[in-house]
Chains A and B, each alone.
Chain A
């Protein structure tokens, strides 16, 4: 079953602007992770936020988690052309310790 769902499915902005992507999920989680995928390549881990955390930063990335709404957001500030990629959220529901469920992703395009 699909746990995380990203919104929007596609986002196109100008270089230098901020990009915000959202993820909603259905069941309680241990943690939520965000990954980046450049076209056709392997996913790269960006950030992990635990269920007892509300906000986390890493460089130009800011992730929030609202467990009451079962949602998370990923903010990329001061976007660059190199940020063009697909972004996925993944939830760990803790079922058997290895059930990481991915959403369908947001395709982000940064226009120069």
Chain B
């Protein structure tokens, strides 16, 4: 089944404790993105990648890192999480730039 998977689905952590949210897609898509969704703000792009080893900032990259060492994986790294990073995070992939995106199920992160 074609899908985007994210892990963990739920995470509660404390300020400053490094964490990684994994994202994997099995559709051989070149493009992948991370978004955060907050009430009243919609979805905002954090980072995106157009291919292996090619990443770029989205609209809200501060406090996040990403890597794209393999085509299928695009982990999101929070080196020192803060409470303002409490949010619902989505990973997405697509076959061509600006085209239909396939979303993962989301990761609900709470930073205390």
A residues engaging B (CB < 8 A)? Answer: 1-2, 30-31, 33, 35, 40-45, 48, 88, 90, 92, 94, 96-105
Contacts and interface: CB of A to CB of B under 8 A. Distances in A.
**Cβ-closest 9 pairs across A and B:** A97-B97, A92-B98, A42-B103, A104-B42, A102-B43, A45-B100, A98-B48, A43-B103, A102-B42
Contact of A99 (B35, B45, B92): B45
A96 B49 CA distance: 11
Contact of A41 (B33, B99, B106): B106
- Interface of B, secondary structure class, is strand
Contact of A98 (B31, B41, B42, B100): B31
A96 B57 CA distance: 11
B59 A45 contact: no
A42 B104 contact: yes
27 contacts: A30-B98, A31-B98, A35-B101, A40-B108, A41-B105, A41-B106, A42-B103, A42-B106, A43-B101, A45-B101, A45-B102, A48-B99, A88-B42, A88-B43, A92-B98, A96-B50, A97-B96, A97-B97, A97-B98, A98-B31, A98-B48, A98-B98, A99-B45, A99-B98, A100-B98, A101-B59, A104-B41
